[in-house]
Amino acid sequence: MGSISENCLGWAARDTSGVLSPYNFIRRDTGPDDVSLTITHCGICYADVAWAKNISRNTIYPVVPGHEIVGIVREVGSNVRRFKVGDHVGVGPYVNSCKTCEHCKIREEVHCDAETTHTFNSVDEDGTITRGGYSSYIVVQEGYVFKIPDNYSLISAAPLLCAGITVYAPMMRHKMNEPGKSLGVIGLGGLGHLAVKFGKAFGLHVTVFSTSNSKKDEALNLLGADKFIISSDMQQMESSAKSLDFIIDTASGDHPFDPYMALLKPSSKVISGSVAGGTKDMQEMLDFCAANNIHPEVEVIPIQYVNEALERMENRDVKYRFVIDIANSLK
């Protein structure tokens, strides 16, 4: 198998300032079980800031962020059967796992006992440090690559690979897809706006809770929520007591749970945390979005704007997800 061994061009942070700038590095050759893809777009996730600035305290510099990756297959290894050159594909927050524990066996790799290998800032099985999607191409084992339906936009697919799966997986796990039931969504950012879209596609009555009245019009008219409540307005909150079957909390930052607990029906008191989702859920979600015409709301930017975008995201100044146009701007 001939391999493409040219350098990969990316953008990396060198220190805790988190400022990104161009960076050349070597990707591994495409092995027998690997898929190599030309990256066309990469979504921006809060994780990108967290590791660029070493907020998580384990950053290995230089770090190339990005784990909402979409692109086009350019090479496949000799054992690869699910993909061919030219396919539209995606890569999410992890690129490897042990494959043998009980979680990996049921394709819930995100809970791998040995810990998953993250798409960037992780140690891969060959000992190299993984580098993410703010780059021209990436080489990933076949099992951690997802098929993006041909009729679905690559730009739309990018935010699904982290923001989307992080709400889709728990919604499916807790059976929040029963038509006619009522869902509360706390927070209306990258994750929350997708929870609203999924909720409506599942046939739920969706109430959005926000601290800011400025999002009311978009929640109801753009995203299709049924009801909008200002969470600090005690009267509005009390009027919804015992009315919800489910609540999905996507708000970042510290906030009290208690006021929301009173809104759940007596039969539905569950608190469960959730991380992204396994490969089974991921493929199912991509197919579901294509079938139901669900598209995240995005602002597409060139890579040269990435530092401003990261800053704006920290200030919650994005509706609702940034997507970097790698194909047309990373040169």
In this prediction, residues 221-241 reach a mean pLDDT of 96
Say what percent of the chain tops pLDDT 70: 98
Q: Is 168's pLDDT higher than 80?
A: yes
Least confident of 154-168, 177-191, 261-275, 300-314: 261-275
Q: pLDDT tier at 206 (50, 70, 90 boundaries)? A: very high
Residue where one domain finishes, among candidates 263, 287, 310: 263
Whether 78 maps to a domain, the answer reads yes
Whether 274 maps to a domain, the answer reads no
Distances (CA, A) of 40 to 131, 185, 320: 16, 31, 20
Q: pLDDT tier at 269 (50, 70, 90 boundaries)? A: low
Q: Is 107's pLDDT higher than 60?
A: yes
Indicate the length of the chain as a whole number: 331
Residue 1 has what pLDDT? 42
Least confident of 17-31, 200-214, 260-274: 260-274
Shared domain for 23 and 137, answered yes or no, is yes
Is residue 82 within 8 Å of 29, Cβ to Cβ?
no
Shared domain for 105 and 175, answered yes or no, is no
Q: Classify burial at 202, counting beta carbons within 10 Å of its beta carbon; exposed 0-12, middle 13-18, buried 19 or more.
A: buried
Is residue 171 within 8 Å of 270, Cβ to Cβ?
no
Residue 306 has what pLDDT? 98
Whether 286 maps to a domain, the answer reads no
Q: pLDDT tier at 2 (50, 70, 90 boundaries)? A: very low
In this prediction, residues 175-184 reach a mean pLDDT of 95
Q: Is 211's pLDDT higher than 70?
A: yes
Residue 94 has what pLDDT? 96
Shared domain for 44 and 122, answered yes or no, is yes
Whether 249 maps to a domain, the answer reads yes
Residue where one domain finishes, among candidates 263, 285, 315: 263
Q: Quote the CA–CA distance of 119 and 122 in Å, as a whole number.
A: 7
How many domains does the chain fold into? 2
Residue 21 DSSP SS3: strand
Q: pLDDT tier at 275 (50, 70, 90 boundaries)? A: confident
Shared domain for 244 and 259, answered yes or no, is yes
What's the mean per-residue pLDDT of the chain? 95
Shared domain for 41 and 155, answered yes or no, is yes
**Higher per-residue pLDDT: 5 or 79:** 79
Least confident of 32-41, 223-232, 259-268, 322-331: 259-268
Shared domain for 155 and 171, answered yes or no, is no
Q: Quote the CA–CA distance of 208 and 312 in Å, as a whole number.
A: 23
Q: Are strands 298-301 and 321-325 parallel, antiparallel or unpaired?
A: parallel
Residue 20 has what pLDDT? 98
Q: Quote the CA–CA distance of 68 and 323 in Å, as a whole number.
A: 9
Whether 321 maps to a domain, the answer reads yes
Task: Measure the N-to-C terminal CA separation of the chain; round to a whole number of Å.
Answer: 27
Shared domain for 29 and 174, answered yes or no, is no
CB atoms within 10 A of CB 57: 7
Residue 6 has what pLDDT? 57
Shared domain for 188 and 95, answered yes or no, is no
Shared domain for 154 and 182, answered yes or no, is no
Q: Are strands 8-13 and 20-25 parallel, antiparallel or unpaired?
A: antiparallel
Whether 287 maps to a domain, the answer reads no
CB atoms within 10 A of CB 292: 13
pTM of structure: 0.95
Whether 330 maps to a domain, the answer reads no
Domain that holds residue 236: 165-263
Shared domain for 91 and 138, answered yes or no, is yes
Residue where one domain finishes, among candidates 223, 243, 263: 263
Shared domain for 246 and 210, answered yes or no, is yes
Shared domain for 15 and 156, answered yes or no, is yes
Distances (CA, A) of 249 to 62, 87, 193, 210: 33, 35, 11, 11
Whether 277 maps to a domain, the answer reads no
